[in-house]
Amino acid sequence: MATPGRRKAHRAPRKRPARVASLSSLTPRRTPLALAALVLAGVATVGASAPQVLTTAAVGTAAAPSATEQTLASAPSLEQHIAERREVAVSRSSERQALPSARAALVAGIAEATAEPEEEDEATEGSDPSEPSTSVSGKPCASGSSVESGLSTNAVKVHRAVCAQFPSITSYGGVRSGDGGEHGSGRALDIMVSGAVGDQVADYVRANASRLGVTEVLWAQKIWTTQRASEGWRSMEDRGSSTANHYDHVHVTVG
């Protein structure tokens, strides 16, 4: 309620500041055609710069191969791998084939080193005929081996060696039944011979006594034994006959 006696003061209208010009008035208006031109220009700029980037990347890739490409390039080809495997297989096969030959050569060498000397069938050429031969043959006697029946191994050796060395001798005496000595046990051999040939036979048996297992030789009323070999021939007592005194045969006793 208005107070009596007072009048309402008159208010003067406030002055409004001048409005700033709107953006539309400051920024020039662009028509749709202008905006389309700007978009096309941007696309052209990007398109012009993209090939350069791609080209640079492509050049870099061609200049510097990747680690995978280097590994593949250095790896052997399938043909090379097959050739290498074939060479390895051939080498192993050759080694396996060489083993039996090397083993056989080793066995042959051992056998040759441990084998006993082969018995010679004939006297050495150019040897002095006055010296007893040291060749010993183990072949069966060409004139027959019936006398070997019942003889010991060493007695058989004596028979075959003398038969090969003196092929003209064809008569021998072996086992005698009822004999209580060496002839009864098969450890003695009588070589029926006389004269100079008998001397040669007796010397031959003595020279090869160790190889033939000879322990005693009786000839022309003389005796020779391995136990007293250093004494040579020793004289024997007269037994009354040429046969008892061993003038018609060489008696050989073996161990």
Judgement on whether residues 80 and 62 belong to the same structural domain of the protein:
no
In a domain, 197, yes or no: yes
Sign of CA dihedral 186, 247, 215, 146: negative
Count structural domains, the chain. Answer: 3
In a domain, 49, yes or no: yes
* Stated pTM of the model: 0.50
Domain residues for 236? 146-254
What per-residue confidence (pLDDT) applies to 68?
A: 58
Q: Which residue has the higher pLDDT, 23 or 197?
A: 197
Judgement on whether residues 82 and 164 belong to the same structural domain of the protein:
no
Q: State the amino acid at position 16 in one-letter form.
A: R
Judgement on whether residues 159 and 204 belong to the same structural domain of the protein:
yes
Q: CA nearest 163: which of 131, 129, 119, 127? A: 119
Judgement on whether residues 52 and 103 belong to the same structural domain of the protein:
no
Q: CA nearest 120: which of 131, 136, 107, 104? A: 136
Average pLDDT over residues 171-182: 91
In a domain, 226, yes or no: yes
Judgement on whether residues 250 and 161 belong to the same structural domain of the protein:
yes
Judgement on whether residues 174 and 249 belong to the same structural domain of the protein:
yes
Q: How many CA atoms lie within 13 A of 123 on its CB side?
A: 15
Average pLDDT over residues 68-97: 71
In a domain, 96, yes or no: yes
> 224 has which bridge partners?
217
CA-to-CA distance for 135 and 132, rounded, in angstroms? 9
Q: At what angle do helices 153-165 and 195-207 cross, to 10 degrees?
A: 130
Average pLDDT over residues 163-171: 93
Give the strand order in the sheet containing 234-235.
172-173, 188-192, 249-254, 214-219, 222-225, 234-235
Average pLDDT over residues 214-238: 95
What value, to the nearest 5°, has the Cα angle with vertex 25 and ends 24 and 26? 95
Judgement on whether residues 166 and 230 belong to the same structural domain of the protein:
yes
In a domain, 107, yes or no: yes
In a domain, 56, yes or no: yes
pLDDT at 163 over 50: yes
Rg of the chain, C-alpha, whole Å: 65
